Structure 1
């Protein structure tokens, strides 16, 4: 099955035409190199300008800043096609769905003119540094500081689990510009830090159990000086900015999770048709059919819900609780699909040469990053 074969309601003809461009890029430039990039532990920086040339990066950036000025539906298509055909995590969604939006929404005119065209072209790769060794979902507990010294900030601290950490040219660093104010979230700001700044160092490329091609790193800041004009938006408003953008971030994760689950399902149907046991295809056993029938029904519901959420978001109506619910439901579905599909592969499912093995490993983190499933339930429950 191809993704456009599904009955979708969130997209129009222009979206679907764009989908073909994205798919050809994934099939030509990404999928054939997936195994090598997994082994390397990183996607080469040379891939980014190729994607930028085709308009695959940051399509929502306004035309006056070098973008296409399109809606988030185009981002979602890149996410879907990447998850279904790309086979590796490229890091594109972080740049397009998250970082670009921060700069569009809160950046100064100077910041927008300088950075957005480079994000669109792929000349600049970005990361956002929130998580610290001692704090995960509790961002108020961060210890990284940005203290004023004349017209500069001096940044000290460390971050971990940072996507695009090895490749990033520009890092949006969450730091406390005021360590005394209470509640603590009022002292958090977002500071733009260029990778060539003295005192900035990258740690190791972290050894993960999945999404091997996605460079995920430790970052260290030792007396890193940046001008105060590098503050994104207003000082002390960083936590508010982070909370405001989370619905789109979590919807982005939900989109990728749903598409990855569909790919695993489609691959498993094909596998069980071909593989035989006791003289007949595995698909002919009632248990196999019932497991797959149950998953197909849930995937059908998932696509309908995803289109609902996308349509809500395109109208700027998706609430934080709805974004959390989408992230929760689709990532939990992804894990259920991956685990049951791996089981239907039998021993082959445990071999990395089969796509289901890599997909199963990569799926485990989606219930953690962007806010754990437990945190999503907490956020939803607060609004009951």
Structure 2
């Protein structure tokens, strides 16, 4: 069955409803912008007072954009399963957005009637029943089983398709057989994975060819990064899918602010995976508040002495090169303008703790933080005591002092897109595992897959995965064209929470076996939980990036 074989009013109704919902959403954005502004500009105090509304607004924006994209992604000859899943997600998204907009309306004194009219519209009721009612969910679940998990399709060119095939094979044949042991025994990612990944060029995906990587010299290649990250994450988030993030953040920071000599020296090494990299941003007292970081660098002859603590520095033991966000301006009132980036060289360590003492007496020590998941790379607490860094290792050297915040943000955008891709890979693995188990496991004399509730669960999981995956690729294309900065945070927000939901349901379908460490979905479940925390916690993204961007855009529009 193709899209043209389905009742045409279903697809038309979905698009029409989204078209009617968008201006209602925009009106609430405009009203909240006014409530948060003083003299036409956003006010920090008012923004804080409206945090709950801003958080809801960001989530409504994510759901609405993903639903709109899901409908745009439907080609005229789309498969039955693609149409079914798109309609299911539209129903779920609109069902989530409407009450959020109602709450915003109550808070802001906006009229409820337009929202209530949409919620009571006969076509909305018809779409809920025909597109996502019990029978529709069961039909979608059966179509999903026939599709063998091949959903959320995106059109890729030949190089991307070849890369996807190659890395999916590598993930299945090399990564997956080692993933359970790495997780259960809390091992460091072994050379048996790192060396073939070096040979496949994964550490140079964001580095231009002229500096030894595989990215084009004249533009970014976000889609290639998304393809590779998704494929590797399907086998293991911590042992493969996350290895690319740290070199990307550092290489983008170097490309944004490094001197030509620094680029020529470091980028080919990073592309070759020697040294491996780690990023030290977070501090015990500041978390995502980058502007408040206190880790100190003090001038000394020929360089800087670093003193202070960093935390949640992933892969810091194995890494030979750390990018450390450092306050080089002693005036704390300088905020983010007082930050610089230091490249700290150290020996590589495989264990859960290390100490490195420089000939000058500077000391760097680290201890891995025990975590429920995301094992293999290990996140470290770090302590620096008068650790010497030469001037040549300040990104941008003298000209880069005070610009570390901007160089860091240049790298973080790619990290957020990678995290969305990681979430997609984890969801795909969880969905395929749940489908396989539901087909094999018999309960009360019949396979789990025969029961309507199981089919409904699988259909909703698949709809969410497909919508997130398609949005990630769509935003990746926009980023490669120079736009989509806010949307990168938005897709990260949605995909990471969705990974939690999908892996939770996959584990539930497995029943008691899902809670056993020997079952892959237990690892997928605990790994997924970290996605909404790192590379920008969902609260920070929702409040400081997405909502703020929406509100600023509304004020600019009103001023025209």
TM-score normalized with structure 1 length? 0.94
2:16 maps to none
Pick from 224, 235, 240: which aligns with 1:74?
A: 224
| Larger RCO (CA under 8 A, 6+ residues apart) | 2
Contact map agreement 2:303 2:390 (CA 8 A) in 1: yes
Per-residue CA deviations over 1:84-130 (Å, capped at 9, x if unaligned) read: 13464334222343222222222222222222122122221001100
Contact map agreement 2:313 2:381 (CA 8 A) in 1: yes
CA distance in 2, matches of 1:66, 1:130: 26
Matches within 5 A, 1:4-83: 6-9=152-155, 11-38=156-183, 39-45=185-191, 47-70=193-216, 71-83=221-233
Contact map agreement 2:256 2:410 (CA 8 A) in 1: no
2:518 maps to 353
Return the offset for 1:333: 0.7
Per-residue CA deviations over 1:263-295 (Å, capped at 9, x if unaligned) read: 101110110111111111112111111111112
CA distance in 1, matches of 2:192, 2:254: 23
SS in 2 for 1:271: helix
Per-residue CA deviations over 1:230-287 (Å, capped at 9, x if unaligned) read: 1112100111222333322111101110121121011101101111111111121111
CA distance in 2, matches of 1:337, 1:227: 47
1:167 maps to 318
SS in 1 for 2:203: coil
SS in 2 for 1:226: strand
CA distance in 2, matches of 1:69, 1:356: 34
Number of residue pairs the alignment of both structures matches: 382
1:227 maps to 390
Distance 1:230 1:140, change over 3 A: same
Contact map agreement 2:182 2:376 (CA 8 A) in 1: yes
Matches within 5 A, 1:116-265: 116-180=267-331, 182-196=333-347, 198=358, 199-233=362-396, 234-265=400-431
Per mean C-alpha deviation after superposition, the further-off stretch among 175-184 and 39-48 is 39-48
Distance 1:75 1:55, change over 3 A: same
SS in 1 for 2:202: coil
CA distance in 2, matches of 1:166, 1:27: 27
Distance 1:189 1:63, change over 3 A: same
2:532 maps to 367
CA distance in 2, matches of 1:213, 1:89: 5
TM-score normalized with structure 2 length? 0.65
The structure whose residues are more often helix, as a share, is 2
Distance 1:5 1:344, change over 3 A: closer
Per-residue CA deviations over 1:46-82 (Å, capped at 9, x if unaligned) read: 6333212222222231222222234222222220111
CA distance in 2, matches of 1:245, 1:224: 25
Structure 1 unpaired stretches of 5+: none
Matches within 5 A, 1:285-324: 285-319=451-485, 321-324=486-489
SS in 1 for 2:305: strand
Distance 1:290 1:23, change over 3 A: closer
Distance 1:317 1:118, change over 3 A: same
Return the offset for 1:337: 0.5
Per mean C-alpha deviation after superposition, the further-off stretch among 75-84 and 51-60 is 51-60
Return the offset for 1:214: 2.0
2:502 maps to 337
CA distance in 2, matches of 1:117, 1:318: 28
Structure 2 unpaired stretches of 5+: 1-146, 348-356, 552-560
